[in-house]
Chains A and B, each alone.
Chain A
């Protein structure tokens, strides 16, 4: 039996939560399951390409497995953003299972409409815990009304739409600039999960935050090029499928646990958690619902199946919910 080598590339800096929780365990698992028959050459931190180039580099075969974040290539993978919409779920596991259902196998809605046309196949996926509004010292927020007009950093796409719907001001900037911008009041805050608040070292300048909300998230996939995949022996394909299933399932729980721990640490640091009244919460839910519909409608108008994708994703969410309660 000959060895199989896979070149894996991503854009994550050393120690990033996704590489610690998903990528490295996946590399280890593949090694173990294949008894070292599959060798992984791992190129992190944009060593062989920037985040938005990795899809094309995977398609072209320069690398075998690329970190494909649909939001970096929204022009090529517009449908996947369905999993990044606000309000549709409240735990990482929910979104990851639903997205994995639709993306990982033949016949799955996103596999057929998004991965197959792009000539790639997801090996495993990751999603960050639902984003919260995280505010620095320049804003005192006690209620929904106080949030109006606050400048928040968002990463474009659905997050941008969500902030506008809730009368907040969306500002774009590169992640490394968030710390300085937030500490000096260039922005009042940002949308982030609490685990990222820690990795961007924002803990000390965070004064208040929402909790239990879902203002969107980021979904990423590690995908292999179709050509490479077809060239792999059947047993290697099976190992990769098993590893992907296991890691995706295992990592999502890990993300949720870490988010909970990060929430506790922020609480200990004296960060004030903003609570909303029933009426305010209804308003937020109505707004995020509208964002999802607007998102779907604008894709429909451009001839892409936005509404159908939304329907499929909601069905997958519901199905997962049922399996869990059974």
Chain B
């Protein structure tokens, strides 16, 4: 069990760096594209397709699970904070379970779509015929990692002590808040 967790954490870490590198690439590609277009009259013909097909999906799906790990998701927890810890553990578990089901459906649908695109050799029309399966595959990878992350926190929530639960929830989750 511990070994599985360690391996999946390692996978999550690598994926997260993939997401971060995508963000850096996004900044550099768009800036360079603007520069090439303005100064040299030679915008990149590939940037729009590469960004929308691969880079922003990678940025989003590869960091999805890690963002959840650090508690970057925004929630409204007034009522939740007022509830006694044993009740909170139950409501938390239920919310977690519902999220697992939906993200599992997303992962399943995404995998089906990626497989289909791979089998047909789907590619978009244009100067360069970019393949669509690597783009589609990012969805099941990201949603799948999130399902694992949610499942492990569901288990931890169910088996841990009330004290440990309360301790893990006392931080204000303001990291990355964006309002």
Whether both chains belong to one complex is answered with yes
**How long is the Cα–Cα vector from A157 to B125 in the complex, in angstroms?**
5
B31 to A: closest C-beta gap in Å: 15
Supposing A75-B117, A156-B49 touch, asked if A151 and B41 sit within 8 A by C-beta, the answer is: yes
Give the A-B pair count, Cβ closer than 8 A: 48
**How long is the Cα–Cα vector from A81 to B124 in the complex, in angstroms?**
11
**How long is the Cα–Cα vector from A149 to B37 in the complex, in angstroms?**
11
Supposing A74-B124, A76-B122, A303-B121 touch, asked if A170 and B129 sit within 8 A by C-beta, the answer is: no
Q: Which residues of A sit under 8 angstroms from B41, Cβ to Cβ?
A: 149, 151, 169
B117 to A: closest C-beta gap in Å: 7
Contact present for A156 and B42 (CB under 8 Å): no
**Is A298 an interface position by the 8 A CB rule?**
yes
Chain B residues 63-104 with CB under 8 Å of chain A are none
**How long is the Cα–Cα vector from A71 to B127 in the complex, in angstroms?**
14
Q: Which residue of B lies closest to A60 (CB)?
A: B109
Contact present for B123 and A302 (CB under 8 Å): yes
**Is A108 an interface position by the 8 A CB rule?**
no
Kindly state the interface size class of chain A when it binds its partner: 20 to 34
B125: contacting residue among A81, A170, A171, CB under 8 A? A81
Per-position contact with B for A74-85: 1 when CB-CB < 8 Å, else 0? 111010010000
Contact present for B45 and A160 (CB under 8 Å): yes
**Is B18 an interface position by the 8 A CB rule?**
no
Q: Which residue of B lies closest to A295 (CB)?
A: B125
Q: Which residue of A lies closest to B49 (CB)?
A: A156
A245 to B: closest C-beta gap in Å: 29
Per-position contact with A for B118-159: 1 when CB-CB < 8 Å, else 0? 000111111101001000000000000000000000000000
10 examples of A-B residue contacts, CB within 8 angstroms: A75-B124, A81-B125, A156-B126, A160-B126, A161-B126, A164-B45, A169-B41, A171-B43, A298-B129, A302-B129
Which residue numbers of A lie inside 8 Å of B, CB to CB?
71, 74-76, 78, 81, 149, 151, 156-158, 160-161, 164, 169-172, 298, 302-303
